[in-house]
A and B are shown apart, each in its own frame.
Chain A
Amino acid sequence: NAGVTQTPKFQVLKTGQSMTLQCAQDMNHEYMSWYRQDPGMGLRLIHYSVGAGITDQGEVPNGYNVSRSTTEDFPLRLLSAAPSQTSVYFCASSYGVSGNTIYFGEGSWLTVV
């Protein structure tokens, strides 16, 4: 049981490039989400999914796309990277959408130059 696995751990992008952050969980969790963490701003929700085929926007969705074709995977796509997207990204999952805590991946450090 690996939990929540994120790749890559570190990435440097040039402005305008696109990339995908991968996230997979092996706990059969229905709920998956992506957060970004910036100094002094805590964790902010980007996108989330309550099950395969269902996604929705969080607090800061602009510039990001997601899809959920399987229960296990929830990739985050940066369409055209901007320096403002320099951040630490965390994928998270939980058993359900009511009252259960979430488990985080190890994080992906992204720098856009």
Chain B
Amino acid sequence: GENVEQHPSTLSVQEGDSAVIKCTYSDSASNYFPWYKQELGKRPQLIIDIRSNVGEKKDQRIAVTLNKTAKHFSLHITETQPEDSAVYFCAARGRNTGNQFYFGTGTSLTVIP
């Protein structure tokens, strides 16, 4: 099946700085890569996603890049704010894995005011 690795597991940045979280996946047939944000005690919520026919997608301060050849994708948050503090999960979904979602182990981001 699919194996998704996520790094780093914890990340602290100063407010206003950028944060980058990286994920790799093993199934070359995976074709959809969402990112979720989970605040303490809450459900994961989709913040951005990218499909395999696109190399980059941006939504205000959040962007995701995908390198299909290297099988990795990254989340970029610019001008970080304290409310960006949360756990972020990447996921991969692909045909060779029965179209199931496989998640990374999460990154706990802390934005220091």
Contacts and interface: CB of A to CB of B under 8 A. Distances in A.
A107 B51 contact: no
Contacts of B9: 40
A99 B104 contact: no
Contact of A101 (B49, B95, B104, B106): B49
A106 B93 contact: no
Interface residues on B, range: 20 to 34
B34 A104 contact: no
Nearest to B43: A104
B99 interface: yes
Contacts of A106: 42-43
B32 A42 contact: no
A99 B95 CA distance: 9
Contact of B43 (A90, A98, A101): A90
A74 interface: no
Contacts of A42: 6, 89, 103-106
Interface string B33-55: 01000000011111001010000
A106 B38 CA distance: 11
Contacts of B42: 106-107
Interface in A56-113: 56, 58-59, 90, 97-107
Interface string B45-67: 11001010000000000000000
Interface in A14-67: 33, 35, 40-45, 48, 56, 58-59
B89 A43 contact: yes
B113 interface: no
Given A99-B93, A101-B49, A90 B102 contact: no
A105 B9 CA distance: 24
B18 interface: no
Interface of A: 33, 35, 40-45, 48, 56, 58-59, 90, 97-107
Interface of B: 1, 6, 9, 31-32, 34, 42-46, 49, 51, 89, 91, 93, 95, 98-106
